[in-house]
Amino acid sequence: GENVEQHPSTLSVQEGDSAVIKCTYSDSASNYFPWYKQELGKRPQLIIDIRSNVGEKKDQRIAVTLNKTAKHFSLHITETQPEDSAVYFCAASTPAGGADGLTFGKGTHLIIQP
Amino acid sequence: DTAVSQTPKYLVTQMGNDKSIKCEQNLGHDTMYWYKQDSKKFLKIMFSYNNKELIINETVPNRFSPKSPDKAHLNLHINSLELGDSAVYFCASSLLAGPTPGELFFGEGSRLTVL
């Protein structure tokens, strides 16, 4: 099945700086790559996603890039703010035939220092 | 007008007991899921279910069983609870599944503590 590796596990940045979280996946058939944000004690919520026919997608301060050849994708957050503090999960779609649904990375705890 | 709701939010029980967590979605989605999030925040899929098919992650013990009375509900029943079952269990739903899934909508989570 799909295996998703996510780094770093913890990332601390100064408010206003940029943050980058990187993920790799194992199954070249995967074609959907979402990012979820989970604030403390809350449910995970989708913040941005990208499909395999696109190399980059941007939504205000967040952007995601995908390199299908290298099988890695990244989340970029610019001008970080205190409300960006959360755990971020990358994920990749699991091709039909396995346990259907998304395979998540182990999460990155992003800490925004004032 | 909560999209995905699950109950109870907190559940404390003794080892060996049997418990259930209920989940309901009002989004009209065809596919529902159960995820387990352990103390290290790892999110791991346990089951996915649509009108046609139940797919089980092979690592899930058979003490865990999903039950779906209709497409808007997917309950989780756990027999003979063990200490290692302590976790937050998230129900989720999506409009699409398989190779082209859509956004996952999660419930608020049910924190299970086994003593």
Q: Which residues pair with B45 in a beta bridge?
A: B35
d(CA A44, CA B89): 12
- Beta carbons of B44 and A104 less than 8 Å apart: yes
Q: What is the CA radius of gyration of chain B?
A: 13
Question: Tens of pLDDT along B57-112?
Answer: 778 899 999 998 888 999 999 999 999 999 999 999 988 665 566 788 999 999 99
> Does the pLDDT at position A34 exceed 70?
yes
d(CA B48, CA B56): 7
Where are the strands (E) in chain B, listed by range?
A: 4-7, 10-13, 19-25, 31-37, 43-49, 54-56, 64-67, 75-78, 87-94, 105-106, 110-114
Strands B75-78 and B19-25: antiparallel
Residue of B nearest to A88 (CA): B41
Q: How far is CA A67 from CA A55, A56, A76, in A?
A: 7, 9, 14
Question: Tens of pLDDT along B12-39?
Answer: 999 999 999 999 999 998 889 999 999 8
Task: Calculate the average pLDDT of chain A.
Answer: 92
Residues of chain A with Cβ-Cβ distance to B104 below 8 Å are: 34, 36, 44, 46, 101-102
d(CA A15, CA A113): 6
d(CA B78, CA A32): 31
Which pLDDT band holds residue A71 (cuts at 50, 70, 90)? very high
